Structure 1
Amino acid sequence: MDKPTQLIEFETMLLMRHHVLARPRPKRDAGERLDRSAYVLLSRLQLDGPMSIGQLREAFGLDTSTLNRQTAGLLRAGLAERIPDPDGGIARKFRITAEGERRLAADRTENVEGLEKVLKGWSAEEATRFAAMLHRFNEDIERLEGRPWPRP
């Protein structure tokens, strides 16, 4: 592995393998954790507000059947609800519910606590530099895909 891109490929493969952020704390049941698709969809709805299937398809680059399956799971769990388009459009939109907000916040808190454990020996400068590089890496992927992700 001589090229930096080979090293980055290998390390990102390992990063996806680790589940440091997905381990439930003892006081929460593993079934209370959101699955990856719910976490990402709810995060997007939280940032962008209500979105239609078409808008979600454009944002994620997923097919309609996949999004219908994923959003149906959110609806069944009470994490999102379908509402009329606030702008008066024909398509109904998905909006995160209070329960979705609560569960997303709980998972995000656990994720941050997991990261704090991993980064315990890092200086503030190192952590800030790493966050900036991840931000740049993700924005470059988003630019190539033509699907920018909103940031808080």
Structure 2
Amino acid sequence: MDTANKQIEQQITVLLRRVQRIHLSTTSGDVNLERSAYGIMCKLADEGPQRLGALAVAFGLDPSTITRQVQALEEIGLADRKTDPSDRRASILDLTATGRQVLDETRARRRSRLQSALSDWPEADLTDFGRLLKEFNASLDRLLEESTPPR
């Protein structure tokens, strides 16, 4: 397991570098999304409107940091906040129509790059890879939940 652990850690490090390069190569057009903005936008698109506090917890960030990142999205018209109807003291963030369009275009470019990179993989390997990535992320979520002190 020690050898496998070392290889996994090394490959994750390589993956992180590649992800940054993919991010830079697929951000084009009028809007250049920061990685943090892309992550927030994906979460909103995939899971629906969110309170800023929930976003801070999800990304493991201080509320002031997530607030700054959200303000940047709001300033360029990609997201907006509305009063939470269940608690008028809180606000909920969602994507604007422009934000959804920018995200859809960016995701399409990224998925096209991934499809090119994986075009010679057998379908069974793609299915296994997706399943294993999902399991890996779930394992990381459990580990982080266990090691994160309550707020």
Sort the TM-score into its range (normalised by shorter chain): 0.7 to 0.9
For residues 112-135 of structure 1, give each alpha carbon's deviation from its aligned partner in whole angstroms, at most 9, with x where no partner exists: 101011101101111111111111
1:37 equivalent in alignment to 2:36: yes
Equivalent runs, 1:109-124 vs 2, <5 Å: 109-124=108-123
- Structure with more helix by fraction: 2
- Structure with more strand by fraction: 2
Gaps of 5+ in 1: 148-152
- What corresponds to 1:4 in structure 2? 4
Q: Percent identity?
A: 33
Gaps of 5+ in 2: 147-151
List structure 1 segments (4+ residues) > 6 angstroms apart after TM superposition.
none
- What corresponds to 2:48 in structure 1? 49
- What corresponds to 2:26 in structure 1? 24
Deviation at 1:22? 3.6
For residues 30-72 of structure 1, give each alpha carbon's deviation from its aligned partner in whole angstroms, at most 9, with x where no partner exists: x523221111101111223222221212222200121111001
1:20 & 1:70 partners in 2: Cα distance?
21
Amino acid at match of 1:113: S
Equivalent runs, 1:93-132 vs 2, <5 Å: 93-132=92-131
Aligned Cα root-mean-square deviation (Å): 1.9
Q: How many residues align?
A: 143
Instruction: Give the conservation status (yes or no) of the 8 Å contact 1:21–1:115.
Output: no
For residues 62-90 of structure 1, give each alpha carbon's deviation from its aligned partner in whole angstroms, at most 9, with x where no partner exists: 00121111001110111100101033442
Return the TM-score normalized by structure 2.
0.86
1:48 & 1:20 partners in 2: Cα distance?
24
Return the TM-score normalized by structure 1.
0.85
- If asked which structure has higher relative contact order (CA below 8 Å, sep 6+), I would say 1
Secondary structure class of the residue paired with 1:121: coil
